[in-house]
Amino acid sequence: MRIIVTDSYEEMSKVAARIVAGQLYLKPNSVLGLATGSTPEGMYANLVKVHQSVGLDFSEVISFNLDEYIGLDKENEQSYYYFMHKHLFDHVNIKPENIHIPNGNPENLEEECKKYDKLIEAKGGIDLQVLGIGQNAHIGFNEPDIKFEATTHKVKLDEETIKANSRFFENEEDVPKYAISMGIKTIMLAKKIILLASGKNKAEAIYKAVYGSVRPDAPASILQLHQDVVVIVDKDAASLLPEKDKKVFVK
């Protein structure tokens, strides 16, 4: 596990974008696992800039999103389908048929989950998975005490997660209570993972992910067992890490 500490959210976003762009330059037909939420917004903005300025090519890229709320239509501004198109897909040359986002309104939820994992496998697996982290150390929507062997599945969101996500909705009551999410097993099958975090409210979660015991009540701790993880955090999110981990500052 490599830890990169930056001075700011803006620098964190640039570093993350450089890693994703590098992946696409080395392998134009990369399979990307993508995350939503406020943390990766800056990374997506930087990728759009690179695409528009020097032609970073997304034409062969295949993407799989981590999760989607259950019960929201695609056109809903709080759906992750809407988020991804607003922040990335509508601004780069990715082919619509190569975009995969869990269906939050499937006829058969169990079959939808199985189909999603089978499709990832059929495309050769995820080359680079982007993750954010919740204040309770969840990744994707895998809440504390989730089974590590879980593949894509239905998740009941914790009250802490619902409260955190309520900032995107008019009222906390409007936040969906369930989501469909890649499971820990699906995430861990990715060849490379980058974990992003910004702000002091993520410091404890980052400490648990990097130094805590590997256990289900801190889902991100499982990343310690992955062979290729890069943790990219600003100095606030890194504030609880030992001093030896704070020396890799990117200016």
Residue 10 in this model has a pLDDT that exceeds 80: yes
| Cβ-based neighbours of 190, under 8 Å, separated by 6 or more | 33, 125, 126, 127, 128, 129, 226
pLDDT confidence of residue 7:
93
Of residues 31 and 74, the one with the higher pLDDT is 31
pLDDT confidence of residue 251:
46
What is the mean predicted confidence (pLDDT) over 106-120?
94
pLDDT confidence of residue 143:
84
What is the per-residue pLDDT across 188-242, written as a single tens digit (0 to 9) for each?
999 999 999 999 999 999 999 999 999 989 999 999 999 999 999 999 999 999 9
CB atoms within 10 A of CB 221: 22
Structure confidence at residue 247 as a pLDDT band (50, 70, 90): low
What is the per-residue pLDDT across 123-165, written as a single tens digit (0 to 9) for each?
999 999 999 999 999 998 888 877 788 899 998 888 878 877 7
CA distance linking residue 60 with residue 225, whole number of Å: 30
pLDDT confidence of residue 177:
86
> Of 139, 230, 221, nearest to 186 (Cα)?
139
pLDDT confidence of residue 209:
96
8 A C-beta contact, residue 149 and residue 182: no
- Which uninterrupted H or E stretch holds 15? helix 9-26
Annotated catalytic residues are 67, 136, 138, 143
What is the per-residue pLDDT across 33-63, written as a single tens digit (0 to 9) for each?
999 989 999 999 999 999 999 999 999 999 9
pLDDT confidence of residue 96:
97
What is the per-residue pLDDT across 65-106, written as a single tens digit (0 to 9) for each?
999 999 888 888 889 999 999 999 999 999 999 999 999 898
8 A C-beta contact, residue 140 and residue 182: yes
Domain ranges for the chain, please list them: 2-245
> Of 40, 179, 182, 194, nearest to 121 (Cα)?
182
Copy the structure tokens of residue 156: 């009941």
pLDDT confidence of residue 246:
67
> Of 63, 1, 50, 41, nearest to 193 (Cα)?
1
| Cβ-based neighbours of 250, under 8 Å, separated by 6 or more | 4, 5, 6, 7, 11, 15
Considering the four listed CATH numbers 2.60.120.1570, 3.40.630.30, 3.40.50.1360, 3.40.50.720, the one that applies to the domain covering 2-245 is: 3.40.50.1360
Of the CA atoms within 13 Å of residue 77, those in its CB half-sphere come to: 4
